[in-house]
Amino acid sequence: MTYDPSNIFARILRGELPMHKVFEDEKTLAFMDIMPQAEGHTLVVPKCPAADLYALPAEFAGPLLATTQRVAAAVKKATGAPGIMIAQLNGKEAGQTVFHLHFHIIPRRHGADLAMHAHKMEAPEKLAAMAEKIRAALG
């Protein structure tokens, strides 16, 4: 799969589009999903041009997983959710819609049904408030 540098996550990484940042280091960025499947739905992306898992340079694999693990713990704490779903899709047939590798961190509660993708954008002020709660949970 060819990487398209105009994808929405590449544009976010370049600072061309706004986002509600949760965490950032040299190799990764975590931010709120604007169409969350559940309150606290957060995305983690590598700071490199990788369309999917197969294109990820090895030196980003460890940091990407470490950030996902750290942010997932903070999302769990901030939302009080009893469970966290981590999702990562590769290819259109798998349901991937943004072709920049990313992990979904989605709080789960008993009885909450989730589709593969949400279709409603969340209010920016709600995303900002949740991002603040998750940052606080990160310490």
Residues 123-139 pLDDT 10s: 999 999 999 999 999 99
Is it the case that residue 82 has pLDDT exceeding 80?
yes
Q: What single letter denotes the amino acid at residue 130?
A: M
pLDDT of residue 114: 66
Is it the case that residue 115 has pLDDT exceeding 60?
no
- Residue 24: inside a domain: yes
Q: Which helix (H) or strand (E) holds 103?
A: strand 103-108
pLDDT of residue 45: 98
- Residue 30: inside a domain: yes
- Residue 84: inside a domain: yes
Residue range(s) defining the domain that contains residue 123? 8-109+119-138
Average of per-residue pLDDT across 62-86: 98
Count of domains in the chain?
1
Nearest to 70 by CA among 112, 29, 18: 29
CB neighbours of residue 126 within 10 Å: 13
- Residue 3: inside a domain: no
Spatial separation of the C-alpha atoms in residues 4 and 85, rounded to whole Å: 27
Instruction: List the catalytic residue out of 41, 100, 102, 104.
Output: 102
What predicted TM-score, i.e. pTM, was given to this entire model? 0.93
- Residue 102: inside a domain: yes
pLDDT of residue 116: 57
Are the C-beta atoms of 76 and 85 separated by less than 8 Å?
A: no
- Residue 1: inside a domain: no
Q: Which residue has the higher pLDDT, 120 or 99?
A: 99
Active site residue 102: yes
Calculate the alpha carbon distances from 87 to 14, 101, 127 in Å. 24, 11, 20
DSSP 26-62: SSEEEEE-SS-SSTT-EEEEESS--SSGGG--HHHHH
Sheet architecture: strand order including 28-32: 21-24, 28-32, 42-46, 103-108, 83-87
CATH number at residue 66: 3.30.428.10
- Residue 114: inside a domain: no
- Residue 93: inside a domain: yes
